[in-house]
Amino acid sequence: MAETHTPYSSLKKLLSLLNGFVAVSGIILLGLGIGGKCGGTSLTSVLGLSTAYLLHVGFLCLVMGCITILLGCAGWYGAAKESRGMLLFCILSMIIVLIVEVTAATVVLLFFPIVRDVALEHSFVTLRKNYRGYNEPDDYSTQWNLVMEKLKCCGVKNYTDFSGSSFEMTTGHTYPRGCCKSIGTVACDGRNVSTYVIHQKGCFQKLLKITKTQSFTLSGGSLGAAVIQLPGILATLLLFIKLG
């Protein structure tokens, strides 16, 4: 028995494929959102609110990802049922998502220079005031200890950041154990500043590099998702017009 074809069967098949790509772009946005929120939390803890935009954009990507996956399914259903109402809903919703994605990418790129210019002094002042020590339970000290150990660095600018700080006044040490190359050794006594004992370079440049990578990943991912979605929007609009 010959297969029956509707007048728009070829376009509907194409649209089904493109809606699959739309759903994939939603999964990409979900991945970006999870990465942005996880990385943004740590960066905000040590660099301050100047990097909070990563958290906000990460959350936005999570929301947009969920919406996009649902719209991909709704677009497939609308094409299969030839429902102009559903197709119109998908077109308008995807246009809004597209605008939000491009806006988010632009915001991320605009905010990065602010981090570079503002975060250094803010982080330096906050570290000298709020850092308490290696085994202290407060979140700020814990995050900085993790950063210094993982990135193999000491302080914001360099190891001298702790001189005259509240940490030195409280403990009498010129640097915390997190700065040491081998924590727990006798030489790691808070006074020996030899290059064999401690990491003398600061963490800011390494943190800035991570921030830059995350910013460009979020921005590029958002724009990439928008490019993937655009053919689906156009094909949906074409089917909507033809059904009219």
Q: Residue 91's pLDDT is what?
A: 92
Within 13 Å, how many C-alpha atoms sit on residue 33's CB side? Answer: 18
Domain extent for 137: 124-203
Per-residue pLDDT of the chain (244 residues; tens, 9 = 90+): 444 455 667 877 888 888 888 999 999 898 888 877 776 666 666 666 666 777 778 888 889 999 999 999 998 888 888 888 999 999 999 999 999 999 888 888 887 777 777 777 888 888 899 898 888 788 888 889 888 988 899 999 999 999 889 999 988 899 999 999 988 788 888 889 898 999 999 988 888 888 888 888 888 888 999 999 999 999 889 888 888 7
Confirm whether 74 is domain-assigned. Answer: no
What b-and-e string marks burial along 131-162, b requiring 16 or more CB atoms within 10 Å of the CB? Answer: bbbbebeeebbebbbebbbebebbbbbbbebb
Confirm whether 46 is domain-assigned. Answer: no
CA–CA gap between residue 77 and residue 67 (Å, rounded): 15
Confirm whether 97 is domain-assigned. Answer: no
In angstroms, the Cα distances linking 95 to 134, 232, 233, 236 are 50, 11, 8, 11
What is the total count of domains within the chain? 1
Lookup: tokens for 171 = 């403990």
Confirm whether 175 is domain-assigned. Answer: yes
Confirm whether 177 is domain-assigned. Answer: yes
Q: What are phi and psi of 16, to 5 degrees?
A: -60, -40
Confirm whether 112 is domain-assigned. Answer: no
Confirm whether 62 is domain-assigned. Answer: no
Confirm whether 179 is domain-assigned. Answer: yes
